[in-house]
A = this chain, B = another copy of it.
């Protein structure tokens, strides 16, 4: 019987579930809204229903476990703890809930770590022993691979690159502090930078037509593609802040490549070209030109594949 695993990618906006085999083939996937349920138990009930339906549908497959990538998910404690982008507080014992309900093993890690494992097992990082994956979506996450192993840290929480502070007098962050990288480099960071530039500049721009509520990074991206001056400036400023931070990360971990992944990938060269220039500008001389910067070429299922790999690679 063909062994498969269920991969779950919990994001601030969407949760993606997929049923995956050892070759990375996704038999089926579905998306639910992460923030739809006020109670964590209700959210889990929706996930249980999907898993139940797949168990009935795929009777010819052996489901060997569930792998989960979630914001602030720890492989050590098997809990989601104080995730800034989720509405549920406290320690969420998601692994225990799944193992108790279904009886098969469940492994949890950080959502960005799961995507990183996906990149390592099925993506462009197959032959790399030292690389970083940066996920840019609702927030900014990272997975760091050193000597061929994911850097978990002693408590499983390493790789919180989105929460390095880049400006101590900077923007308010969901984590309760100020100036975290993800307040600048993320979907909402792009929107905030747009509003900052709208306040600063007198230039004409289509972005003045939108309320804060209505503006999205997608709209800013389209405006930039259309040649809008302010929208282009937003991407340049985003690239500069990310570039400075990546130059520091390179000094610390010296990766062979940095992959960017997430909705922001759709902005293509708008972000990548200035980013390459800024990383090169701010890098310590002996790192200059050594680290490849590129978008992940896996599609939106990388984190589901990575989450499933947590289980599949142990079988």
- Chain A interfacial positions (CB closer than 8 Å to B): 72, 81-82, 128-130, 142, 144, 146-147, 149, 151-161, 163-165, 168, 175-177, 244, 247-249, 251-256, 282, 284-287, 290
Contacts and interface: CB of A to CB of B under 8 A. Distances in A.
Given A82-B285, A147-B147, A176-B285, A154 B252 contact: no
Given A165-B244, A165-B248, A286 B82 contact: yes
Given A165-B244, A249-B252, A252-B164, A290 B155 contact: yes
Given A175-B284, A244-B168, A251 B147 contact: no
Contacts of A175: 284-285
Contact of A256 (B142, B154, B164, B177): B154
Contact of A286 (B72, B128, B147, B165): B72
B130 A153 contact: yes
A232 to B, nearest CB: 22
A154 B255 contact: yes
B284 A177 contact: yes
17 contacts: A146-B151, A147-B151, A147-B152, A152-B254, A153-B253, A154-B254, A155-B254, A155-B290, A158-B253, A159-B252, A159-B254, A160-B287, A163-B284, A165-B244, A168-B244, A177-B282, A252-B253
Given A158-B252, A254-B153, A256-B154, A282 B146 contact: no
A249 B160 CA distance: 9
Contact of A146 (B72, B153, B176, B284): B153
Contacts of A147: 146-147, 149, 151-152
Contacts of A161: 251-252
Work out how many copies of this chain go into the complex: 2
Contacts of A177: 282, 284
Contacts of A149: 146-147, 149
Contacts of A152: 130, 146-147, 254
Given A144-B252, A147-B151, A163-B284, 12 more contacts: A72-B286, A82-B285, A128-B154, A159-B252, A161-B251, A164-B248, A165-B244, A165-B248, A165-B282, A168-B244, A168-B282, A252-B252
Nearest to A173: B284
Given A253-B158, A254-B155, A255-B153, A81 B286 contact: yes
Given A176-B285, A251-B161, A252-B252, A154 B168 contact: no
A149 B149 CA distance: 10
